[in-house]
Amino acid sequence: MGLFKVSILGNGAAVPTARQHPSSQLLQHNRKKFMIDCGEGTQMQMQRFKFSYKNMAHVFISHLHGDHYLGLMGMISTFNLFSRQEDLHVYGPPELQDVLNLHLKVSDMHLKYELIFHELKEADLIYEDDRLEISCFPLKHRIPTWGFLFREKDKSERNLLKEFVEEFKPGLEQMYKIKQGADFITPAGVLMKNKEITYHPKPLSYAYCCDTVYDEELIPVIQDVDMLYHESTFDQKNEGIAADKFHATAAQAAALASKANVGKLLLGHFSARYKDRDVLLNEARPVFENTILSREGDTYQIG
Amino acid sequence: MGLFKVSILGNGAAVPTARQHPSSQLLQHNRKKFMIDCGEGTQMQMQRFKFSYKNMAHVFISHLHGDHYLGLMGMISTFNLFSRQEDLHVYGPPELQDVLNLHLKVSDMHLKYELIFHELKEADLIYEDDRLEISCFPLKHRIPTWGFLFREKDKSERNLLKEFVEEFKPGLEQMYKIKQGADFITPAGVLMKNKEITYHPKPLSYAYCCDTVYDEELIPVIQDVDMLYHESTFDQKNEGIAADKFHATAAQAAALASKANVGKLLLGHFSARYKDRDVLLNEARPVFENTILSREGDTYQIG
């Protein structure tokens, strides 16, 4: 286990308002941060909610509708003005590289850091470190669009049971040894076997599906994830409009969450027409109870 | 005379903060609106300050640094989602057309309105209607950059003196006739010649100079304008940095305003380093007294 959480920078659909911003999320896994989508104004949202770019070296762009990528060029410029030196990895549809290159050319910007572009062309593992894997998978939208799956690696290290820690309050060195497999002897001299006081931590996972039509082909891909962010642009009475525009309703997001047996469903990409988003929540919850409305600036623990 | 005013949507330099936004202005002349520059987040600023796009058909982009144009593609997309039908004229450096075309292509957007692009290549009259002329002129910055001059046409119609209207309260029809040259007979039977009760209204003018280094070659271009918006990115102790980056200080903006005999100087394009911008105002006012700090969301009458 470790720190694994996602913060919502923008959860609005295409038309921004004073209240809702285009898509962007900041995912944190242990010390590393990852950005998912970067709509117009993302850098202002980062400032507004006082997030830092420290240890943020990877940006994943789902597709090239403006509300998912138009903040990227400004953020890249700002990094340059701040004399960033760390490499920046950008993952997205191939044409995104043309967009970035053209912006750098017309603004005559010479980056002080490496911008490394990774083309998304097929479902694939696109990032890996010793504790996390990130893969992309195709969504069905009007233009080529990618979902992203963040999955912790299975670790050999075990975690201490909370009840054991509370009762016996082991020291740091002792905790480290127990994680590695050591047994424990209580002050009263009783041997506690390692298996009695530890457990195998479940690797956690997060899936991002935005923008997409309702698509049951996603079920095996997102099966059992601990948290699913799925777009819910419309309510049920606009199901026809949703399908026409290759978007989904809140109830459809909930149906998918239920069929894929996910832990928690986070709704987002709300149409600006819903002043009160409870209409969306109220249509989703009967289908999948563990549903929450995402809120800009809020952070959600995964798992 | 008529309605002639400018509203500040963003007056920050390149790095946006939660408090200051990239460059954009909305100028209104009678019923028509014109946008000058369109940095990232401009459409959110339009919403925040409750401005409407009604009668806004012309957007002027000074140059292709991101903080002056990166909001344009999102605004163009939003117009399409709102089913705009009115033509949109965009004026800017030739490469801006490539940027717009690429965005439309990668997002597979088919505009429901005409987007008419006007290349800025030399100092020229670029817009004209029966009451206003707009011209562009070159600024000295790191990449090709244009200033814009909005100048009312000289009208044959005369305006009624305020004192006369207050004393005799003429009716609408009578006011119209006097504007066309008619004399007036008071209730007491005294003849008042047209020249005694009217005046020739001075055509008003507004100049936008952002971004630019201090440049005395601008003096004949902006001579006697009623309001000058001039960048003032830095204070005097950063004059060297300003020159290196082809920016200007507040005191330099004031010196230019004084030498060009403008009516009022509006400062903007502030570096994010100035939490208290009075340092800029205090350096400008001794050089040119009629100086004000622009403020986002505020509207300034021209003349």
Domain ranges of chain B: 4-155+203-301, 159-199
Residue of chain A with shortest Cα separation from B16: A44
Of B16, B102, B105, the CB nearest to A43: B16
Residue A279 has pLDDT above 50, yes or no: yes
Helix ranges, chain A (H):
42-48, 66-69, 72-81, 95-106, 162-168, 172-179, 194-197, 219-222, 239-244, 250-259, 278-284
CB pairs under 8 A between A and B: 108
Is B40 in Cβ contact with A74 (below 8 Å)? yes
Is A44 in Cβ contact with B78 (below 8 Å)? no
Interface test with A, best of B24, B107, B120 (most A CBs within 10 A): B107
- Is residue B176 within 8 Å of B60, Cβ to Cβ? no
Total Cβ atoms within 10 A of residue A245: 18
**For residue B52, what pLDDT is reported?**
96
- Is residue A213 within 8 Å of A232, Cβ to Cβ? no
Residue A209 has pLDDT above 80, yes or no: yes
Fold of A4-155+201-301: Metallo-beta-lactamase; Chain A (3.60.15)
Q: Which of residues 90-109 of B touch A (CB under 8 A)?
A: 93, 95-96, 98-99, 102-103, 105-108
Is B107 in Cβ contact with A48 (below 8 Å)? no
In angstroms, the separation between the Cα of residue A144 and the nearest Cα of chain B is 10
The chain-wide mean pLDDT, for chain A, equals 95
- Is residue B199 within 8 Å of B157, Cβ to Cβ? no
**Tens digits of per-residue pLDDT, A25-38?**
999 999 999 999 99
Q: Is A48 on the interface with B (CB under 8 A)?
A: yes
Kindly name the residue from A37, A67, A211, A235 that is annotated as catalytic. A67
Q: How far is CA A236 from the centre of its chain?
A: 25
Half-sphere exposure of A195 (CA within 13 A, CB side): 0
Residues shown for chain A:
303
**For residue A1, what pLDDT is reported?**
46
B41 contacts on A by Cβ (under 8 Å): 40-41, 44
Helix (H) or strand (E) holding A34: strand A32-38
Of B17, B43, B105, the CB nearest to A47: B17
Residue of chain B with shortest Cα separation from A66: B74
Tell me if ipTM is over 0.90.
Answer: no
Q: How far apart are CA B81 and CA B76, in angstroms?
A: 9
Is B74 in Cβ contact with A40 (below 8 Å)? yes
A53 contacts on B by Cβ (under 8 Å): none
Is B143 in Cβ contact with A107 (below 8 Å)? yes
- For A33, the token pair is 């941060």
Q: How far apart are CA B56 and CA A131, in angstroms?
A: 52
Q: How far apart are CA B140 and CA B243, in angstroms?
A: 11
- For A204, the token pair is 């956690």
Sign of CA dihedral B107, B116, B231, B241: positive
Residue of chain B with shortest Cα separation from A81: B15
B96 contacts on A by Cβ (under 8 Å): 106
**Tens digits of per-residue pLDDT, A17-63?**
878 999 999 999 999 999 999 999 999 999 999 999 999 999 999 99
How confident is residue A2, by pLDDT bands cut at 50, 70 and 90? low
Q: Is B111 on the interface with A (CB under 8 A)?
A: no
Is A40 in Cβ contact with B16 (below 8 Å)? no
Fold of B4-155+203-301: Metallo-beta-lactamase; Chain A (3.60.15)
Angle at B47 between CA A247 and CA A275, to 5 degrees: 50
Q: Is A296 on the interface with B (CB under 8 A)?
A: no
Q: Which position has the token pair 């707009």?
A: B134
Q: How far apart are CA A143 and CA A65, in angstroms?
A: 8
Catalytic residues of B: 67
**For residue B17, what pLDDT is reported?**
82
**Tens digits of per-residue pLDDT, A125-179?**
999 999 999 999 999 999 999 999 999 998 777 889 999 999 999 999 999 999 8
Q: Which position has the token pair 């400018």?
A: B6
- Among this protein's residues, is A67 annotated catalytic? yes
A143 contacts on B by Cβ (under 8 Å): 106-108
Total Cβ atoms within 10 A of residue B169: 9
Q: How far apart are CA A218 and CA A207, in angstroms?
A: 10
Per-residue pLDDT of chain B (303 residues; tens, 9 = 90+): 469 999 999 999 988 887 899 999 999 999 999 999 999 999 999 999 999 999 999 999 999 999 999 999 999 999 999 999 999 999 999 999 999 999 999 999 999 999 999 999 999 999 999 999 999 999 999 999 999 999 999 877 788 999 999 999 999 999 999 988 999 999 999 999 999 999 988 899 999 999 999 999 999 999 999 999 999 999 999 999 999 999 999 999 999 999 999 999 999 999 999 999 999 999 999 999 999 999 999 999 998
- Is residue B69 within 8 Å of A106, Cβ to Cβ? no
A107 contacts on B by Cβ (under 8 Å): 64-66, 143
Q: Which position has the token pair 């201490």?
A: A160
Half-sphere exposure of B195 (CA within 13 A, CB side): 0
User: Residue B122 burial by CB count (10 A; 0-12/13-18/19+): exposed, middle or buried?
Assistant: exposed
**For residue B18, what pLDDT is reported?**
77
Of B64, B71, B99, the CB nearest to A40: B71
**For residue B232, what pLDDT is reported?**
98
Of B47, B77, B99, the CB nearest to A106: B99
The candidate with the shortest Cα–Cα distance to A257, out of A231, A276, A237, A277, is A231
**Tens digits of per-residue pLDDT, A79-124?**
999 999 999 999 999 999 999 999 999 999 999 999 999 999 999 9
Find out whether the peptide bond into A298 is cis, omega within 30 degrees of 0: no
**For residue B2, what pLDDT is reported?**
60
A15 contacts on B by Cβ (under 8 Å): 78, 81-82
Q: Is A65 on the interface with B (CB under 8 A)?
A: yes
- Is residue B26 within 8 Å of B48, Cβ to Cβ? no
Whole-prediction pTM: 0.91
- Is residue A44 within 8 Å of A23, Cβ to Cβ? no
Per DSSP, B270 falls in state B
Q: Is B163 on the interface with A (CB under 8 A)?
A: no
Residue A70 has pLDDT above 80, yes or no: yes
**For residue B1, what pLDDT is reported?**
46
In angstroms, the separation between the Cα of residue A238 and the nearest Cα of chain B is 17
Q: Which three-class secondary structure state does DSSP give residue A188?
A: coil
Q: Which position has the token pair 């760390």?
A: A86
A71 contacts on B by Cβ (under 8 Å): 40
Q: How far apart are CA B170 and CA B183, in angstroms?
A: 12
